[in-house]
Amino acid sequence: MQTVKLFIYLIYTVVAVKGVSLKRDPNGYLTYCPCMGRFGNQADHFLGSLAFAQALNRTLILPPWVEYRKGQMRSHQVPFDTYFEVEPLQEYHRVVLMSDFMNQLAKEVWPADERISFCYMERKSLQQERNNPDKPSCHAKDGNPFGPFWDTYNIDFVGSEFYGPLHFDVHHSAIATKWQHNYPADKYPVLAFTGAPASFPVQHENRELQKYLQWSPKYREAAREFIRKELPRGAFIGLHLRNGIDWVRACEHIKDSQQLFASPQCLGYKNERGQLYPELCMPTKEAIIRQLKRTIKNVRQTQPNNEVKSVFVASDASHMIDELSSALNRMDISVHKLPQDNPYLDLAILGQSNHFIGNCISSYSAFVKRERDSHDFPSYFWSFPKEKERHQTKVHEEL
């Protein structure tokens, strides 16, 4: 089956290499603005969008990643292949970089006077005057990051299409057939969505698609080089700590929610493994140190030939380097972080750690967990299960 898919890809969307041009896919294309949240959310949405494009049998135009930088008002759009390889995705479905599509195919496939934006229902404009309302529209370029995203490729829209009540769950219904019937490729060659055609958090059925999302050589090698040069020989544990002020505020919603952000990754999508509680979102420093020590002792007992020699920490605020170093001093274990903030390199390093402890609520941790699952690497979550319940289960129950 995979061979057939690759053959189809080679016929219709030949990879643009030296002297080779892209060929039009008669089945049409699909793209979107990854306009909700930062990388963790965008990654969840990407997996769902990839599954959606495959179900509709349309080539997925790979959007750039949307980044927000301190002191800058407008978002930055970073090409998809800066962080991840394109080729592994082709094993699952046909894909093409947005820059390649716009440079080689857009003039023929998606002329400027035929570009329609898709949204579920009318999206109100921030600039709309009360006394002179526009006709119903997606207002696809209104606001940040929407405007900067499409402007990156000089894309404007001449109209809007409201696709409600259609949805994106292609695993539990025949919705893909309805999409194909309502929006055939000969009339709608490109479905361009104002937001990702996917749910957040990522659907359980789409989690395994993470195996096709593989780091670019630059980041893969940078992670290996840091591990080789900076971490002592032996096993290392990767930690993800969320403790910035924005996270503290987000955790306040725990009391009013059954699920929050990526919490289904440990609680289950139907809360079959438990309910939300504050420590799951924001464990105390004391709890972090206790759990880390338990993990180290457990590894030493169960894997004596793979002794932990170091700890690598990624964080949005406090890395707790001094606190962790002091706590692990007698165990002869060193604690490390990157010399300069680089969240993508953090992710690549965490993915290669021998053991990983992440935040159940965080979609950033969820990215690491999915990657590690694809390689059968062990992962755990802070304060899960609750400390008072640990006597009823293993010290660390791998999910």
For the chain, the domains span 2-206, 217-392
| Fold of domain 2-206 | Rossmann fold (3.40.50)
Count Cβ atoms within 10 A of the Cβ of residue 127 and give its class: 0-12 exposed, 13-18 middle, 19 or more buried: exposed
- pLDDT for 71: 86
* Tokens, residue 211: 């195996």
* Tokens, residue 117: 């934006």
pLDDT at 263 over 60: yes
- pLDDT for 21: 80
Residue-wise pLDDT tens digits, 84-116: 999 999 999 999 999 999 999 999 999 999 999
**40 near 51, Cβ under 8 Å?**
no
pTM: 0.91
Residue-wise pLDDT tens digits, 327-380: 999 999 999 999 999 999 999 999 999 999 999 999 999 999 999 999 999 999
Give the distance, in angstroms, between the CA of residue 62 and the centroid of all CA atoms in the same chain: 13
For residue 289, give Cα distances in angstroms to 210, 243, 286, 323, 357.
30, 15, 5, 8, 12
Q: Helix, strand, or coil here: 47?
A: helix
pLDDT at 15 over 70: no
pLDDT at 210 over 60: yes
Instruction: Give the closest residue to 362 by CA, choosing from 239, 258, 265, 223.
Output: 265
pLDDT at 2 over 70: no
pLDDT band, residue 132 (cuts 50/70/90): very low
User: Do the domains spanning 2-206 and 217-392 agree at the CATH topology level?
Assistant: yes
- pLDDT for 36: 94
**Sheet (strand 355-358) strand order:** 334-336, 308-315, 235-241, 355-358, 379-381
For the domain with range 217-392, which CATH number is right: 3.40.50.300, 3.40.50.720, 3.30.930.20, 3.40.50.11350? 3.40.50.11350
Residue-wise pLDDT tens digits, 280-302: 999 999 999 999 999 999 999 99
| Average pLDDT taken over every residue of the chain | 92
96 has which bridge partners?
A: 61
The residues, any chain, with a CB within 8 Å of residue 398's CB and separated by 6 or more, are 378, 379, 380
Scan for tokens 């041009």, then name that residue.
21
- pLDDT for 393: 52
